[in-house]
Structure 1
C-alpha cells in the first residue's frame, strides 16, 4: 500500500493509548518498514474497515426480528419457557 501524504483532507486527529507490547510492536514495524507509526495505524484502520466486522454479514437483519421488544431481559418469558421443557 503506498504511503499517504498529508493534505488538507486529513484534518481529523485520533489519540490512542497503547499497552507496552503493542507500542513496542508498532515501533519495530515502523523501524523495519520506514513508515511512520501514524501511517501504519492509518493502514491498519483502513484494512479493518475494508474487511468489515463479523456483524456485517448479519447487519441487514438487525432490528427485523419479530416478538416482544424486551424478550432478552424479561424474566417472565424465561420462566414460561422453563415450564414448557420436560
Structure 2
C-alpha cells in the first residue's frame, strides 16, 4: 500500500492568504488602538524594505520600491493566515 501524504494548495494560495492576513491584522489592530488608546504601543510600526526610487529613460520611467510596515497585529495576521493555510 502506498502511504498518502497531505498535499497543500500551491505557494500562490499561501502568499495570497499571508498578504490578506497581514492587511486584515493591520485593520483590526488600528480598530483596537482607536478603541483602547492605552494599547498604542502594540501598534508601533517598523518599516522594512527598499524605499522608492525612479529611473527615467526619457521614453519610459520606472519606479521601484517595496516597503513593509510591520506591527504586532500584522504579525498575528500572518501567523493566523499560515495556520488557516495548513488547515486547507
Q: Tell whether the structures are fold-level matches, with TM greater than 0.5.
A: no
**Structure having the higher Rg:** 1
TM-score by length of structure 1 reads 0.26
Query: Relative to total residues, which structure has the larger strand share, 1 or 2?
Result: 2
Higher relative contact order (CA 8 A, sep 6+): 2
